Every structure is written in structure tokens, then in C-alpha cells.
Amino acid sequence: MRDVRLLDRPFDPGSLIGPFTGAHPGLGGVCSFVGEVRGENGGVETLELTHYEPLTLPGMEHLAEQACSRFALMGLLIAHRIGLMRVGEPIVCVSAAARHRRAAIDAVDFTMDHLKCAAWLWKRERRADGWRWVAPRPEDYAALARWRD
């Protein structure tokens, strides 16, 4: 089971993860990651994610197929926000169900590395001095490179 969502409103990760886990009886492990807008130390007031609609959801669905196949998953959940978000709101939730914990952990890591660097999403932050675009860092690209065959 793959559940891929692009959301334009705030969401509760627990309301997604609970039913996702319950839909996979016999799983050996489930791993979930929730990314939130951080702001206290960085001074971010608002985060905005824009996207290229014809490619974003199909690209995320293809990524889910890759992860499910590569890690022999029982299921994968990807929920990603677009639009304006406030500090503390969830941006992304990825949850993987597998027969063994390592597959679930690796699948979430694989999916997040690809979402961070290779998705059709653009991010900008508003701080006290105005808006600025945010690009993946060199360490983000290094993490993505680990998954090349």
C-alpha cells in the first residue's frame, strides 16, 4: 500500500501514522519521520513551499514506488505540505512499514533524502529582514549520493 499526499493545509501526523500502521498487520517494524518548521534559533517566521503541479505528485508517487521496491516494503506513507506554514507546523511525514526494522528505517531515510534534494518543491523563508530562497546544503546532496547504485 502506497499513500502519497500533497497537502495545502496543516495536518496531524498521528492521524495519518496510526491508521497507516494499523493497515499493515504482521509488520515487523514501522519507522516514521515528521519534519516541522523550525524557527526559534534560526529566526524563521514563515516558510513557503511552492511546486510544479504537473510533476510534483507524480514524482512523489514514483519515489514511493522506488522505495517500496528497493526495500521490499509492506507500505509507504508520504504526506508533504505546500503553501505557507508557521513555525512548529509539520512540513512532511514519511512512514514505512516492513517485515524488518532496517528496511523501514532505510526506506524513510532514502525517501527523505530524495524529497530534500530531488523533489519538485521550492522553499523560501521569511525572516525579520525579508524573504530568502533556501537550497539544499552540500551535506544534503552527500546524503542523497549514498543511494546511488
Q: What pTM does this model have?
A: 0.94
| pLDDT tens digit sequence for 54-91 | 999 999 999 999 999 999 999 999 999 999 999 999 99
Percent of the chain residues topping a pLDDT of 70? 98
Phi, psi of 144 (to 5 degrees): -65, -40
Alpha-carbon span 89 to 36, nearest angstrom:
5
Q: Given this structure, which CATH class describes domain 2-145?
A: alpha beta
Report residue 53's pLDDT band, with 50, 70 and 90 as the boundaries.
confident
Domain ranges of the chain: 2-145
